[in-house]
Structure 1
Amino acid sequence: MKINSVLKVKHVAWASAALLAIILLIVVTHSAAKSSTPSSPLAMVEIAVAEQRDVPIYGEWIGTLTGQVNADVKAQVTGYLLTRNYKEGSFVHKGQVLFEIDPRTFQAALDQSKGQLDQAQAQLIHAEAQLATADANQLKSQLDVEKYAPLAKVDAVSKQDFDNASQTNLANKAQVRAAEAAIASANAQIRTNQAAVETAAINLSFTRVVSPIDGIAGIAHAQVGDLVSTTSDALTTVSTLDPIRDYFTVSEQEYLALQKRFSDSGVDHWKLQLILADGTTYPQEGQFYFVDRQVNQNTGAIQLAALFPNPDNVLRPGQYGKVRAVTRVQQNALLIPQAAVNEQQGSYLVAVVDKDNHVNMRPVQVGERTGTMWVIQGGLKAGDRVVVEGQQNLKPGMTVQTKPFKSNVE
């Protein structure tokens, strides 16, 4: 019994020692596993340094393109449209026939006017012949009167012969006056008929509707077979597109500031950029053309116009054409990339990384934008490092890894 008790005690001791060894092994293994797990990596952000330099400040205004000249091509006579002789949207030359109106009525009117003119000219020839005969007869009768007058005083001829000669002379003078009146009437009729011929010829020429200018011809608003007249809408419109005009409006305050800037600087022309509807910048630079004579009292804005070269006629009237131009140069402006600025409920925040790579969020006051940069008017100083990429999930006090920001914009 005593031996069994001793063995039982030893067995319990061994079991306790084994359990303790297992527990120690688990603890050591857990500690080793914990110590072997790597720590979470620091967030990687791209930073840019706030820089200070002189920058141009741009203004942008919404504009609309239109032709330098937009000529409405209208019918000037009434008739049925026979043909359309141009390709819509193509370039046409001054004097090129665009449409033809049925000319038969106008050709008939011209032929009739010419016939009436020929008749009047024949009447003139007949009247001139009558005048020549009347002049000859009047001259003969006048000589007879002059011959009989002294003879009648001495009774060398009878009074009856002298009276007959005088009456014949008076009749011949009346015939001369009648022939002269006939000539005047014939000349007046000729002038009237000549005007009628000229009018008929002009109307006939109007049946060939031509382009008044060199330019791009638009869509035809009348089709073959339509009855057109002087009261009809334009058959089409032809526009000169090189250069093309861009109308845009500026506020009265902007206009006064621009006027002062250019008068003070002595700049004689204002170079402009054209931003198209897809956001691209038109490669050709434009120039200021004119300013309207008055400010619109309803809007407080004034209209300006710019001209842009358009050698390939790529730009067309009616296109959106935002105008962009330098309005002033800001000296020693503090700049950071626009992507570094976060707008939150009307305020602007920037994530700034200090020399120990700790993050702090700083409110800033922003000014104008220039290119991809933003002018900062307060809250930063030159040399501050701001986060441009990787702002997501950043919190004040975090430690981050940094690398320089590289812009894709040239």
Structure 2
Amino acid sequence: MMRTLSLLLTGVSLVTLSACSAPPTAAPPAPPTVQVVQPVQRDVPVTTELVGQALGSQDVELRARVEGFLDTVAFTEGTLVKKGQLLYKIDPKPFQATLANQKATLATWQARYDKTANDVKRLTPLAKQQAVSQMELDNAISARDAAVAQVDAQKAAVERASLDLGYTNIYAPVDGLVGTTKVKPGNLVGRGESTLLTTISVINPISFRVGVAEGEYMRLARRQQEQKAAGTWSPIPVQLVLADGTVHPHAGRLDTVERNVDPTTGTLAMQLTFPNPQRLVRPGQYGRVRFDADTKKGALLVPQRAVQELQNLYSIAVVGADNKVSFRNVKVGPRVDSLWVIEEGLKPGEKVIVEGLQRVREGAVVTPTPASEVK
């Protein structure tokens, strides 16, 4: 009996010891820590960028106005030339001969006129005295009038020959950058057409031509009208961003707007002018013009890293008062440095996750900590 009781007590002791040595239940994991910021609210300029191409503020084509053999190319290609500088010379000898011949013909007709004028003077009193017939006087007067017409015509011929001779020397009509010559010495120019010789471009100031979408133009035009009506309008300074990403050191201005919208592209051509004293910008260069088209009052901005994009849909993660995460689709606006304007889907003072997005899901509880200040 005692032995049976001892065995029973031993079994109860083993069960008790086994129960005491069981592992404790694991505690739930702590909520993930995320970094949050509140959106910055401030006025943000809305910047517009347009792609375009530079062209000379004045592009002048030099053409041969007379036919002849090119004697001389008197300039260095691709350099700056001055107004009045001799650039080309066409063989002048045929034109000199033509001018001399026209002058001789003019002298002949001038002599004929002098003779007929003297005949009229001599015959006029004799006709009054009926010493000569009226027919003789009338013939003399007709011969004098014909000689006058021939003298006038020959003077015009001499002037034309003089102009043609002058056209054999071709001078720069403006100060500018001259291109390469299209014709070399010894070639015949001007036969049947005014041969293109070269082009001179005025590049200080330089022009820049861009195309603006029809809708964007309407917004800009309306804003300008509103500002003029309110008396707050002033010319908008325009920056030129060159192909290497640098900004042209001189601000430009709007020069002209094309008359009509291009029906093939739906854009309206605008021409801007930029000072170019270093002659750095050349015709044909591509670039971008940048200007502040509008100002968003009280815009909300968050760091760009807080915005997630998927198939042109943008979303942010917001931590509520109960520390739960909610994902929201938002409408984004322009970017400002490292920030992004949120136009819809966010309110001032809300907490937006900027670090730890990969560790959270919809409805998850998190521990928010402030991130570095948004600037």
Q: Give me the whole-angstrom Cα distance separating, in 1, the residues matched to 2:344 and 2:214.
A: 29
Aligned partner of residue 164 in structure 2, secondary structure: helix
Comparing 319-328 with 103-112, which one deviates more in the overlay?
Answer: 319-328
Q: Select the residue among 148, 157, 160 that pairs with 1:187.
A: 148
The structure-2 alpha-carbon separation of the partners of 1:207 and 1:340, relative to structure 1 and needing over 3 Å to count, comes to farther
Q: Alpha-carbon deviation of 1:362?
A: 5.2
Q: Give me the whole-angstrom Cα distance separating, in 2, the residues matched to 1:342 and 1:72.
A: 54
Q: Rg larger in 1 or in 2? A: 1
Residue 292 (1) aligns with residue 281 (2)? no
Give the match for residue 80 of structure 2. 91
Give the match for residue 17 of structure 1. none
Residue 204 (1) aligns with residue 165 (2)? yes
Q: Give me the whole-angstrom Cα distance separating, in 2, the residues matched to 1:386 and 1:278.
A: 36
Q: Select the residue among 39, 48, 70 that pairs with 1:59.
A: 48
Residue 240 (1) aligns with residue 202 (2)? yes
Q: Which amino acid aligns with 2:239?
A: Q
Give the match for residue 34 of structure 1. none
The structure-2 alpha-carbon separation of the partners of 1:46 and 1:277, relative to structure 1 and needing over 3 Å to count, comes to farther
Q: Which amino acid aligns with 1:245?
A: S
Q: Alpha-carbon deviation of 1:183?
A: 2.1
Q: Alpha-carbon deviation of 1:277?
A: 1.5
Residue 304 (1) aligns with residue 265 (2)? no
Taking structure 2 as the reference length, the TM-score comes to 0.76
Q: Give me the whole-angstrom Cα distance separating, in 1, the residues matched to 2:63 and 2:324.
A: 71
Q: Give me the whole-angstrom Cα distance separating, in 2, the residues matched to 1:286 and 1:48.
A: 39
The structure-2 alpha-carbon separation of the partners of 1:339 and 1:233, relative to structure 1 and needing over 3 Å to count, comes to farther
- Give the conservation status (yes or no) of the 8 Å contact 2:89–2:169: yes
Mapping for residues 222-233 of structure 1, pairs under 5 Å: 222-229=183-190, 231-233=193-195
The structure-2 alpha-carbon separation of the partners of 1:76 and 1:375, relative to structure 1 and needing over 3 Å to count, comes to same
Q: Select the residue among 108, 119, 142 that pairs with 1:119.
A: 108
Give the match for residue 130 of structure 1. 119
- Give the conservation status (yes or no) of the 8 Å contact 1:58–1:370: no
Q: Select the residue among 338, 362, 368 that pairs with 2:333.
A: 368
Q: Alpha-carbon deviation of 1:301?
A: 2.1
Mapping for residues 317-356 of structure 1, pairs under 5 Å: 317-338=283-304, 341-348=307-314
Q: Alpha-carbon deviation of 1:73?
A: 1.1
The structure-2 alpha-carbon separation of the partners of 1:81 and 1:353, relative to structure 1 and needing over 3 Å to count, comes to farther
- Give the conservation status (yes or no) of the 8 Å contact 1:354–1:385: no
- Give the conservation status (yes or no) of the 8 Å contact 1:84–1:224: yes
Q: Alpha-carbon deviation of 1:135?
A: 4.2
Q: Give me the whole-angstrom Cα distance separating, in 1, the residues matched to 2:372 and 2:86.
A: 65
Q: Alpha-carbon deviation of 1:131?
A: 3.4
Comparing 335-344 with 201-210, which one deviates more in the overlay?
Answer: 335-344
Q: Give me the whole-angstrom Cα distance separating, in 2, the residues matched to 1:48 and 1:105.
A: 86
Q: Give me the whole-angstrom Cα distance separating, in 1, the residues matched to 2:317 and 2:141.
A: 108
Residue 272 (1) aligns with residue 261 (2)? no
- Give the conservation status (yes or no) of the 8 Å contact 2:48–2:291: yes
Aligned partner of residue 65 in structure 2, secondary structure: coil
- Give the conservation status (yes or no) of the 8 Å contact 1:364–1:377: no
Figure out how many residues of one structure are paired with residues of the other and give that number: 332
1:288-324 Cα deviation digits (max 9, x unpaired) = 2222222223332222222212222221221113221
Aligned partner of residue 250 in structure 2, secondary structure: coil
Aligned partner of residue 105 in structure 2, secondary structure: helix
The structure-2 alpha-carbon separation of the partners of 1:221 and 1:338, relative to structure 1 and needing over 3 Å to count, comes to farther
Q: Give me the whole-angstrom Cα distance separating, in 2, the residues matched to 1:100 and 1:212.
A: 15
Q: Give me the whole-angstrom Cα distance separating, in 2, the residues matched to 1:359 and 1:120.
A: 110
The structure-2 alpha-carbon separation of the partners of 1:232 and 1:395, relative to structure 1 and needing over 3 Å to count, comes to farther
Q: Give me the whole-angstrom Cα distance separating, in 1, the residues matched to 2:319 and 2:195.
A: 68
Comparing 394-403 with 201-210, which one deviates more in the overlay?
Answer: 394-403
Q: Alpha-carbon deviation of 1:250?
A: 1.7
Structure 2 spans left out of the alignment, 5+ residues: 1-33
- Report sequence identity in percent: 34
Aligned partner of residue 238 in structure 2, secondary structure: strand
- Give the conservation status (yes or no) of the 8 Å contact 1:284–1:308: yes
Give the match for residue 359 of structure 2. 395
